[in-house]
Amino acid sequence: MRPGPRGVRRSVVSASFQMKNGWRLIDTGPCSGVENMAIDEALFRCFDPSCSAPVLRLYGWQPAALSLGRFQKASDDLDLQHCEADGLTVVRRITGGGAIFHADELTYSLVCAPQQIPTARSVKESFRVLTSFVLSFYQALGLPAAYAVDQAPDNSSLGARTPLCFAGRENYDIVLTGRKIGGNAQRRSRQVIFQHGSIPLQNRVGQGVQYLKIRPQGIEQTATCLADEGIAVDCDQLKQTLLQQFARQLGTVVQPDGLTVQEQVLSERLKYEKYVVDCWNLEGEEP
């Protein structure tokens, strides 16, 4: 094996090793927004639900970037001149939701087949199962984390569309004493589940709001982060806690791995053919 760009390890090990080995753990460390989205999509597209082992990826963002939801229109929601003036990279996710300013966060993505999720039957159940490790991660840090739906059982305040991810709440968003922390989104295709989410170390919502055309007032008070909650822990320790809760909640083990050659090649192609072009990032049109 030899190292790939940004610490991504190119592996010739097949992603289809037996399920007794649990989930593949791919820790790419901090990458650019373009690289992060290209790697995530490559993992999703290379996954074969009939034989691939499920994948958990951990990563960060360097430098800071802003990601749009799959169906957002950049010209409607973003102050693109401000983004350009500040040299802020804007990328589009393959999942829905609102814009997210990515800085000082631990991010995860996962890819699996429905049959690889314990106990889950419906799409909603699978989302609850696949976010349970994030919920228990916060709880393991001593924080009173709960699902938004459990704090608003009539659903009256859930599901409204907002240009900024942290301004809205879905059923299985995670809240701490009424304030949203991070966000999670899922996509399904070809009997493959892709999900990713953010764990904010510092509260950068106020910094991200400046890049919106319409800047909601007081949004910083509706979102929180680990630092705001008094958690100042080394990122490596946070990763270990997250992995422990992942293994416990899903009843599995994680095995450190790298990108396969197929995944690496596809991510490089996507990086240059899709995630650096405006037709995808700003317009949402496949190149």
Active-site residue numbers?
165
Largest pairwise CA distance in the chain: 53
Backbone angles phi, psi at 254, to 5 degrees: -115, 140
**What count of Cα atoms within 13 Å lies in the side-chain half-sphere of residue 108?**
24
Strands 254-256 and 23-31: parallel
> What residues have CB less than 8 Å from 192, skipping those under 6 apart?
44, 47, 49, 111, 112, 113
Strand partners, 247: none
Question: Which among 227, 144, 138 is positioned nearest to 184, based on CA atoms?
Answer: 138
